[in-house]
Amino acid sequence: MPITKATSHICLEKKRVAKSTKEEQQKQKTLNATVAATNKRKLEELEARSADFDLKEKLLKEKYDKLFEALEIKRKKLEKDASILEEKSKEIERSFKELAKKSEELVEKERLYAAHNFPLKQSKARRKRGPNKALKLFKLLSSKQKGRRRRKAIKYGVPVSLSTNESLKLLTQGRINQRQRRLINKASPKFFASEHSTHTRKKRILEDISWDSAAEIEIDGEKVKVISFAKAVLWRLQNIGIFNLPEVPQVTFGGDSGNGTFNFGFYFNNLKSSLADDNFFLLATFKGSESYENIKKVVDASLLDIDLLNEYGCLLEYFLVGDLKFLSICLGLQGCSSTYFCIWCLAKKSCPMEISDLRFLDDILNAGEKAKTKAAEVGYDNSSFKKFCKENHSICRPPIFAFIPMTHIVPPVMHIITGSVNYVLKLAANKQM
In angstroms, the Cα distances linking 426 to 39, 114, 432, 433 are 81, 72, 8, 7
Name the nearest CA neighbour of 220 among 293, 303, 329.
Answer: 293
* Residue 254 to residue 264: CA distance in whole angstroms: 6
Over residues 348-369, the mean pLDDT reads 89
- Determine the structural domain holding residue 111 and report its residue range: 91-121
**Domain-located, residue 96:** yes
Handedness of CA 306, 312, 313, 319 (dihedral sign): negative
Question: Helices 195-209 & 164-174, crossing angle to 10 degrees?
Answer: 80
Q: Same domain, yes or no, for 176 and 308? A: no
**Residue 210 pLDDT:** 58
* Residue 357 to residue 344: CA distance in whole angstroms: 9
**Domain-located, residue 71:** no
Query: 10 Å Cβ neighbour count for 142?
Result: 8
For 87-107, what is each residue's pLDDT tens digit?
888 888 888 888 888 888 888
Beta strand segments in 227-344, E? 250-258, 261-268, 281-287, 317-321
Q: What is the largest CA-CA distance in the chain?
A: 180
* Residue 301 to residue 235: CA distance in whole angstroms: 18
Chain centroid to Cα 131, Å, comes to 58
* Residue 252 to residue 58: CA distance in whole angstroms: 54
pTM of full prediction above 0.75: no
**Residue 126 pLDDT:** 46
255 φ, ψ (degrees, to nearest 5): -150, 150
Q: Same domain, yes or no, for 192 and 322? A: no
Q: Same domain, yes or no, for 261 and 369? A: yes
**Residue 128 pLDDT:** 47
For 62-87, what is each residue's pLDDT tens digit?
988 888 998 999 999 899 888 898 88
In the sheet that holds 250-258, the strands lie side by side as: 281-287, 261-268, 250-258, 317-321
**What is the number of structural domains in the chain?**
3
**Residue 122 pLDDT:** 47
DSSP 339-354: SS--SSB---SS-TTS
Q: Same domain, yes or no, for 281 and 337? A: yes
For residue 252, pLDDT beyond 90: yes
**Residue 264 pLDDT:** 94
Q: What angle do CA 61, 66, 68 make, to 5 degrees?
A: 90
For 104-153, what is each residue's pLDDT tens digit?
888 887 777 666 554 444 444 444 445 545 677 767 788 788 778 877 77
Q: Same domain, yes or no, for 168 and 309? A: no
Instruction: Please name the helix (run of DSSP H) or strand (run of DSSP E) that holds residue 222, with its range, or none.
Output: strand 222-226
Name the nearest CA neighbour of 370 among 385, 383, 348.
Answer: 385
**Domain-located, residue 408:** yes
Q: Same domain, yes or no, for 336 and 400? A: yes
**Domain-located, residue 14:** no
* Residue 132 to residue 393: CA distance in whole angstroms: 77
Contacts of residue 231, defined as CB under 8 A and 6 or more positions apart, other chains included, come to 209, 210, 305, 308
Q: Same domain, yes or no, for 265 and 194? A: no
Higher pLDDT, 211 or 427: 427
Contacts of residue 60, defined as CB under 8 A and 6 or more positions apart, other chains included, come to none
